[in-house]
Every structure is written in C-alpha cells, then in structure tokens.
Chains A and B, each alone.
Chain A
Amino acid sequence: MRKSISFEINHLQYLDESAKPANDLPEFAKDTDKLVELYDRMQFLRAMDKRAVGLQRIGKMRTYPAALGQEAVGIGAGLALKDTDVLVPYYRGTGMMLSHGIKPHEILLYWGGDERGADYKDPIAAQDFPVAVPIATQILHAAGVATAIKLRGEKRAVMTEIGEGGTSEGEFYEALNVAGVWNLPFVCIVNNNQWAISVPSENQTKAESYAQKAIAAGMDTLQVDGNDIIAVHDASVKAMEKARNGGGPTLIEAICYRLCDHTTADDASRYHDQKVHDKAWEVEPVKRLEDYLKSLGVLDDKAIEAMAKDNKANVEKEVEMYFDILNNQPQPPEAMFDYLYAEVPEKTKPQREEAIRRGAK
C-alpha cells in the first residue's frame, strides 16, 4: 500500500541565547568541572587562532583558516571521540583535532607550510587523518574508514566535519547514501557557520536545513545550537555511542556564525552585514558558557582572566615549539622523494641525489 512520507528535524538547545538553561541539562553538564574544562578548551582554541592569524600577518604562517565563533562545534563534537575512534577532519577542524590529541604546534606547523605537521606524534591521534583541503572529499574517506571498521567488526566510530557550503558537492550526498544504506559507524558534523567564503547560506540551498539532506539517505539527523557547547557535545556523544554499537550513522547540523574571515586571505567585512555580524557576537559560544558558569558562581572575572593568561602562555609554548621546528629543523631535500612511494623507485634515485646536491648549496 502506498503511503505519504513526512519528516521532522529536531533542534537541540540546552543553554538559550541568554545563557539560561532551556531544557533539563544532560548528566555531564551537571558536573561543573566538566563545563569548566569545555570552557577552558574553547578559550585555548580562540587564543591559538588569534595568534595564528597574527603570525600570518607578519609572514610567519601560511594561509590559515580560523574557527572564531565555531569553538563549540569543534570542541564539543571532538571531545565525543574516544581513543579508539577515528577523526577525518577538514581545514576548519582545529577544535576537533585538538580534542583528539593532535598537538597545537603540529597544527601550526601544517599551516606554516610543512607536511610534518600532519605526522601526529600522539599515538591516539596518529590514526587520524590530515586535514582535507579539497571540499567534501573527506566525507567519502570517512565513510570508507567506517566501512573498514564495520568489515572488521570493531566497536569504533568515525567522525568527520564539513562546512555547510561543502554539502552542495555531489560527494557529500554520495557519502551519506552509502553511510545510510550500509549502516556505517559514521558521524558527520555540518558546521553551518552561514558563509562559504562570501556566499551566504541562502544562496547555497533552498532547503530549510542542512540536516534534512540526510533524510534522503535514511540517516538519523538533527540540528543543534552550535553556540551551545552542551548541545553540541550531548548530541555528538550520543551519535558516536550509537555508531559504535551498530546503530548506524548520524548527521548533526551545528548552527553557528563565522565571526572570522574565511581564511587569512579573505576579508569578510567586504561582504557581510555588519549588523548581523555584531548580533552574532552577542550569542557566540565562549561567552554563552562563560555567562552560564558565572551565573552559577563557578567562575568569576578573576578566574576567567587567570585562565586566559594560562592559555595565552600555553599557546606561546606551542608557538615556540613550532618556530623551533620551522627554523631549526628544515626538512632535508630527500623528504620529497622518500614519502612518495613505499620505496624510492630506482628511476627516482638520480633525481633524489640531484636534489640533495642542490639543497646543500
């Protein structure tokens, strides 16, 4: 018998725009130490981004994509990964990467123009992927990793991330389709920061949400307030747990606002509406949690300032490690040959020798 089909997209929020609980908080959010940790990590990411952009301005960093205003998405979702899970990040995924053990100086080194930054030293992070710069390729790779996990019968899951603009690529739909039909342990976070370089969301899709793009793939899907780290983290933890246990894939659309430029080579003030931008600053994620923790009396201005000072100093330590590698440990010329094939082909060896000779000059 034929029947009509309808669907609904739920929207999850725990802390409303004025930082007041809008719902009964999930268990983890009743632990104020946990909330302070989330806050601390967001504050660190913001400080690191700020420093990286500053470094680019003085020529000590290549093109850098900051995540200002999107800290809750990266940190909240990234902390849902367990040690055995795999992260397949995209270029604005610094928050997720930091949350899964990738070192800040490694991320700085990568964006500073050195492939060694993708050679993660932490054993947990070592299974994670380099950032995907091509748009949407990572979503299929994540589905591929999830397929491998499923074929091996492991109790692990994969998390990947994409901007809302990237969901227009065919690959995005192709990945969701297989994730759905093969019931893969796959979680896709859509960082809906409203902008794809200069293209606003209303020119990207006519759909009312990005979450509903997963409906056609038969996936579980929802929207969360991307400025509310409690909502992002709660949804992500549940989705990953479900995926690990054979419950299949989930898409989470986290709605936030890109308060920064697309990258350091962009200038958003030339195309965004300043009023909308100013408005977004009023509901941004770090302030949201800060206000809530203040309202509970857990943090005060003094404590916040002390944390900021510590985070700034910690960023500085990482910057120094980055500089040390960049300035004092240049890659030898043979590096570009040595990591191309499993073994250096015979025919490549003369070129390799030539590069070593020229590099020594």
Chain B
Amino acid sequence: MTINILMPALSPTMTEGNIVKWHVKEGDEVNSGDLMAEIETDKATMELEAVDEGIVGKIIHGDGAENVAINTVIAVLLEEGEGKGDIDASTEAPVEQVAPVAQAAPTPQVAVAQTAPISSDPDLTGVETEMVTVREALRDAMAEEMRREENVFLMGEEVAQYQGAYKVSQGLLDEFGDKRVIDTPITEYGFTGLGVGAAFAGLKPIVEFMTFNFSMQAIDHVINSAAKTRYMSGGQIACSIVFRGPNGAASRVGAQHSQNYAPWYSNVPGLIVVAPYSAADAKGMLKSAIRNPNPVVFLENELLYGETGEVPVGDDHLIPLGKARICREGSDVTIVAYSIAVGFALKAAEQLAGEGISAEVIDLRTLRPLDMDTVIASVAKTNRVVVVEEGWPQCSISSEISARLMEEAFDHLDAPVTRVTDADVPMPYAENLEKLALINPEMVVTAVKAVMYKE
C-alpha cells in the first residue's frame, strides 16, 4: 500500500503551513530519517524527515505551496513493487487509515473554526470594519495605545525579539524599541512585582504572561500588591496595569498548562477581569483595559488567536469594561458563556435553531464586575438558563452566575440553572482523555434540552 505524507503539525495550535522547498523529487528513493522538505509557519521553519522507506511517487503540493492545511496529503511514497498506478486509490483512502496525524488535530480547535457568525453585534452596527485575527487585534490595541501614551510599555518573556511566544507582539519591538518592549529574564514573580512597582510610580505596564499558568508564580503581586495597594494606601497609590496572556486549555499541553484562571482572579476585590471572545472585543477591551486606572487581568485564549472576525477600522474602537454582549438573540433559553465557550454556545444555538429552539447567547466579556443586568433581562424573557464554561465546576464563574440568579432572578426561572463545565480533574495529556474532560457544543445542546424539559 502506498504511504501518504501529510502536512505535519509543527506545534499544538498550527492549522496550516507553507512548503518552502522539497529536497526530494519524484522517483527518488528515501530512507527513514532522510530530509524530505522544509515546512514553514508564522513561527518556524522546520525540516520534514521520512519515517518510512520508499520511492517518492508523487509530490502533490510543490515548492512554495502556501496555506496547506495540516493533515493534507502533500506527497505519496511508493513501497517496493508499487507503481504510479497505485497512487490515486490511496490518496482517496480514509484519513484514519493513513494518518495518525489526524488524531493530533485538537478537538476544540475544530469546533471553534466553525463558529457561527455573530448575528447582531451592536458595537459593529453602522461602522466600517475589516477582517482581522484575534492575534492581530490584540497587537493593534497595544500598538495604538503605545502610540497614544508614552507611559504604556510591554514587558514579559519572549515579547520583544521573538515577537511573543504566540506572536501576539509582532512588530512592536521594531516600532517602539527595546525601552518599551522589554524581554525579561525568566522570572515571573520578578517582572510582575517590578511591573506593579512601575505602575505605582505612574507608568502603565502591560505585563505578558507566556501563559496564565505561569502567573501562579506571580500571583502574590497580582493579588496582594496590584489589587490592594490603592485601598491600603487610602487611595494614594494607583496601579494602572494590565496582566495579559493566553488562559484556559489550549490543546494537548497537559495538566499544568491547561488551566482557566478566570475564577481565581475574579474572586479578588480590586481587580477587573476581562475574557473576550471576538476579535472586535479583544481589541476594544484591551484598549479600554490599558486606559483603565485599575489593575486589569486580561484573559486571552490560545485557540482563538488565529480566529478572524470583523473589527472596526481606525484607532478609536473602545469596548467598555463591565458590559456583556448579546451575541445571538433568542426567546426560549439563555446560554451564558465567556471566552472560547462562546463559540460552543453559538454553535449549539445554531443546531438548536434547526430543532425549533430559539436560544439567546450572552457573552459575559467582563467577569469582574459581572454584568448581571444583561443576564437577568434575558432570563426574564426566556426563563431558562444554561451557563457554559471551559473550566472546572467548583467555585467558578458558572457557579457565581448560578448563585446570583438564585438571589436576583429566582422568580423568573422555570427550570434550575444548569451548568456545562469541564470534568473536575486536572487536564489529561492523553488525547482520548482530554477530549472527555473538555466541554463541547453537543453538551450544551443536551443541557439546553434538559432545561427545556425536552428528551
């Protein structure tokens, strides 16, 4: 049987790449370990080596092929005794047979890529927009605010020379120089405390955590220093600072790198906590966060960085902090979510619409302060709520929403508030277990039907 060579996934979140150059041509014999091709992504150029022996039967995507999706067949190897005639049948073979790579494609990523369009975003009505990725939206927000105010600077690991571990700070070093885009030594506690000190002294730091998992080493400065010093100094010492970076599960990065810190930080008085979903919110809310006179924890999501969305053109797009957004209107049930879970909620709502259930989807956007007015107004209309959260269930944003609805909207409810959360376990590294631990749109659909008393 011929062997399909697939577009490799160089990193856990890569979705596509370019073929720079083939080092073999059709008819060449290759052995395990031979260099076959150079593959390029936005982050890296990598060598693809042969794993099996064979003869290069066909190169399907040649030198310079761009934006080739991972798992696409890029070439076919012939084994002994096979000829070109064997090729067509095998390239059409089911992916499972030939592609262990397919297993590496992260489930949540697939779901997010199919996110239903946001049907009515009041923030975008009547304004000229352009399509940008969440990654670019965040970068643009920082660049615009750094142009606007000299006191704003970015600091963290790999933010300058490397352009960000997830390429969020692309171009900032070139434009603003190394005094305002600063690579630090590996010291999360160190640069967080230092950033807080600089904020006390009147600068406006943006502190990037490579991921929020690393912020645990620095959490004393976020909570005890940044959040409390204004209070403890009788209002004398302000701390205008943004702590930002990817939060939540990415894809196949194991227990210590897959955690949602939204519940942790939103527990703390003195902090503002933001977790946008769309590209427009990522930009507009990061700009607001940088201008805000208080410490803001700004939670991004690695799996959303590559997602594209409409963002207003120009440098004055501000989204107020503390205001939720109804991103799909409906009348039968309210689905409340934030960050990546909004995508699952929207997808579930789309499927439910096909089954005659009209779901309203609310993106909380800001987690502290919580915009309960928007949630309650929706519940007054639908009388049923499902809260969706990519994170653990206990003492979570979803448990907070549930409690607040009990206190403030009990009489509106026709069914118990129901939650969809990850399993109550550290994130498994193994693919099959990670899939079982994470939420997905089907679970949202099931929960909605339960609160509708259907099935």
Same assembly: yes
Q: Is the CB of B51 within 8 A of A335?
A: no
Residues of chain A contacted by B6 (CB below 8 angstroms): 58-59
Residues of chain B contacted by A4 (CB below 8 angstroms): none
**B-facing mask of A266-295, CB < 8 A → 1, else 0?**
110111000000000000000000000000
Task: From A24-32, A67-75, A92-100, A197-205, give the one contacting chain B.
Answer: A197-205
Task: From A9-17, A38-46, A161-169, give the one contacting chain B.
Answer: A161-169
Q: Is the CB of A269 within 8 A of B187?
A: no
Please report which residues of chain A, range 93-129, place their CB below 8 angstroms from some CB of chain B when the two chains form the complex: 113-115
Residue of B nearest to A355 (CB): B436
Closest Cβ of chain B to A317, distance in Å, is: 14
Residues of chain A contacted by B8 (CB below 8 angstroms): 56-59
Closest Cβ of chain B to A24, distance in Å, is: 38
Q: Is the CB of B185 within 8 A of A204?
A: yes
Q: Is the CB of B217 within 8 A of A50?
A: no
Residue of A nearest to B423 (CB): A351
Q: Is the CB of A204 within 8 A of B433?
A: no
Q: Kindly state whether residue A170 has any CB partner on chain B within 8 Å.
A: yes
**B-facing mask of A150-178, CB < 8 A → 1, else 0?**
00000000000000011011110000000
Q: Is the CB of A114 within 8 A of B429?
A: yes
Known: A169-B187, A265-B12. 10 other contacts (CB 8 A): A55-B51, A58-B6, A58-B48, A59-B102, A197-B162, A199-B185, A204-B185, A205-B185, A269-B45, A271-B161
Residue of A nearest to B183 (CB): A199
Q: Kindly state whether residue A148 has any CB partner on chain B within 8 Å.
A: no
Closest Cβ of chain B to A35, distance in Å, is: 27
Q: Is the CB of A59 within 8 A of B104?
A: yes
**A-facing mask of B90-107, CB < 8 A → 1, else 0?**
000000000111111000
Task: From B251-259, B268-276, B292-300, B331-339, give the one contacting chain A.
Answer: B251-259
Query: 5 smallest A-B Cβ distances: which pairs?
Result: A59-B101, A267-B44, A168-B185, A265-B11, A198-B162
Q: Is the CB of B48 within 8 A of A57?
A: yes
Q: Is the CB of A133 within 8 A of B186?
A: no
Partner of B9, one of A59, A133, A135: A59
**CA–CA, A181 to B197, complex, Å?**
31
Residues of chain A contacted by B214 (CB below 8 angstroms): 134-135
Size range of the interface on B?
35 or more
Residue of A nearest to B443 (CB): A358
Q: Is the CB of A133 within 8 A of B257?
A: yes
Residue of B nearest to A271 (CB): B161
**A-facing mask of B168-186, CB < 8 A → 1, else 0?**
0000000000000001011
Residues of chain B contacted by A261 (CB below 8 angstroms): 44
Q: Is the CB of B165 within 8 A of A197?
A: yes
Q: Kindly state whether residue B49 has any CB partner on chain A within 8 Å.
A: yes
Count of inter-chain pairs, beta carbons less than 8 A: 155
**CA–CA, A266 to B11, complex, Å?**
8
Q: Is the CB of A58 within 8 A of B11?
A: no
Partner of A265, one of B33, B44, B70: B44
Listed by A's residue number, 15 A-B pairs whose Cβ atoms lie within 8 Å are: A54-B33, A57-B39, A59-B101, A62-B252, A113-B254, A113-B429, A133-B254, A136-B186, A169-B189, A197-B158, A198-B162, A203-B185, A331-B428, A336-B423, A359-B432
Residues of chain A contacted by B9 (CB below 8 angstroms): 59
Q: Kindly state whether residue A60 has any CB partner on chain B within 8 Å.
A: yes
**A-facing mask of B391-428, CB < 8 A → 1, else 0?**
00000000000000000000000000000000111101
Q: A113-B430, A204-B185 are in contact. Are A267 and B45 (CB under 8 A)?
A: yes
Residues of chain B contacted by A209 (CB below 8 angstroms): none
Q: Is the CB of B51 within 8 A of A170?
A: no
Q: Is the CB of A63 within 8 A of B11?
A: yes
**CA–CA, A114 to B429, complex, Å?**
6
Q: Kindly state whether residue B61 has any CB partner on chain A within 8 Å.
A: no
Partner of A62, one of B12, B48, B157, B165: B12
Closest Cβ of chain B to A72, distance in Å, is: 23
Residues of chain A contacted by B58 (CB below 8 angstroms): none
Q: Kindly state whether residue B83 has any CB partner on chain A within 8 Å.
A: no
**CA–CA, A270 to B42, complex, Å?**
11
Residue of A nearest to B185 (CB): A168
Q: Kindly state whether residue A303 has any CB partner on chain B within 8 Å.
A: no
**CA–CA, A216 to B39, complex, Å?**
47
Q: Is the CB of A166 within 8 A of B186?
A: yes
Q: Is the CB of B433 within 8 A of A335?
A: yes
Please report which residues of chain B, range 205-263, place their CB below 8 angstroms from some CB of chain A when the two chains form the complex: 213-214, 217, 252-257
Q: A168-B185, A169-B186, A169-B217 are in contact. Are A267 and B43 (CB under 8 A)?
A: yes
Q: Kindly state whether residue B66 has any CB partner on chain A within 8 Å.
A: no
Please report which residues of chain B, range 110-167, place their CB below 8 angstroms from some CB of chain A when the two chains form the complex: 157-158, 161-162, 165
**CA–CA, A171 to B218, complex, Å?**
12
